[in-house]
Amino acid sequence: MFAEHSANLILVARRSDKLEKLSVKLADKYKVKCLAAKLDVRERPEVADFIENLPDEFGNIDILINNAGLASGFDPMQEADFADWDKMIDTNINGLLNITRYVVPQMIERGTGHIINIGSIAGRQVYPKGGVYCASKFAVRAINQGLAIDLMDTAIRVSSVDPGLAETEFAMVRFEGDAEKASGVYEGMTPLSGMDVAEAVLFVASRPSHVNIGDMLILPSDQASAYHVHRE
Ligand code: 8X3
């Protein structure tokens, strides 16, 4: 969606095959410059090296979208797997902090920039068996607020877009590929799509420079809160 609006893109993720294909497709279709790179946001030295050594034509990051994140597992806290907790905390909190910490000083130096964090309804309400995932998204909300305060006297804007139920690979990842459990999450209701969330992010990113959408809760019409979902 950003390519469609003529933004050049730096795309980073762990699955470089998918990323490479997407990058070639977008560059060709929308005539924008795309740089795709395999990067795990959890790996601080790699993040530092990547951001500090970007090719000149990609060196000015105007908009940073912190989207990398996951839920892993769905268990009561007293039974949950430490590995699931580590994955969520390292990606959703530390990964977001790693990238942000390296990109923001460059934005300050250039006097322009916008950080858009992808939060969640889970950063506002805690639901059963989601305690640590929710904690990680509460942290995103706190980081979003803290960064906005610390950057208030700069031209850098800080926003978060907080989706509810969105049908992406989210549930498949949470349930480790168990398709039945994953599709149950969206059963009888119409979830958001990735596109719905992308449209919200684009809206946030395209306000005039004196306007900042501090945070935006975006829910399916069938969802009223983390606990209230209308299912047919
Ligand atoms: C994703 C939304 O409700 O599945 O962050 O936690 S929810």
Tokens, residue 94: 């530390």
Among protein residues, the one whose CA lies closest to atom 4 of ligand 1 = 165
* CA atoms 175, 178, 179, 181: torsion sign: negative
What is the pLDDT at residue 185?
Answer: 94
Tokens, residue 111: 């006097």
> Pocket residues for ligand 1 (CB within 6 Å)?
120-122, 164-165, 170, 226
Tokens, residue 15: 């699955």
Per residue of the chain (232 residues), what is the pLDDT tens digit? 999 999 999 999 999 999 999 999 999 999 999 999 999 999 999 999 999 999 999 999 999 999 999 999 999 999 999 999 999 999 999 999 999 999 999 999 999 999 999 999 999 999 999 999 999 999 999 999 999 999 999 999 999 999 999 999 999 999 999 999 999 999 999 999 999 999 999 999 999 999 999 999 999 999 999 999 999 9
Closest atom of ligand 1 to CA, residue 122:
6
DSSP state letters, 165-232: SB-SSHHHHHTTT-HHHHHHTTTTS--B-HHHHHHHHHHHHTS-TT----EEEE--TTBSSSS-B---
* 63-66/34-38 β-pairing: unpaired
How far apart CA 95 and CA 116 sit, in angstroms, is 14
Tokens, residue 10: 């730096």
Q: What is the pTM of this model?
A: 0.96
C-alpha 210 – ligand 1 centre gap (Å): 31
C-alpha 75 – ligand 1 centre gap (Å): 15
Q: 88, 92, 134, 165: which to mutate for ligand 1, most atoms within 8 A of CB? A: 165
What is the pLDDT at residue 74?
Answer: 96
What is the pLDDT at residue 162?
Answer: 98
What is the pLDDT at residue 1?
Answer: 96
| Residue type for position 86 | D
Among protein residues, the one whose CA lies closest to atom 6 of ligand 1 = 122
* 34-38/9-13 β-pairing: parallel
C-alpha 15 – ligand 1 centre gap (Å): 22
- Which residues share a beta bridge with 157? 114
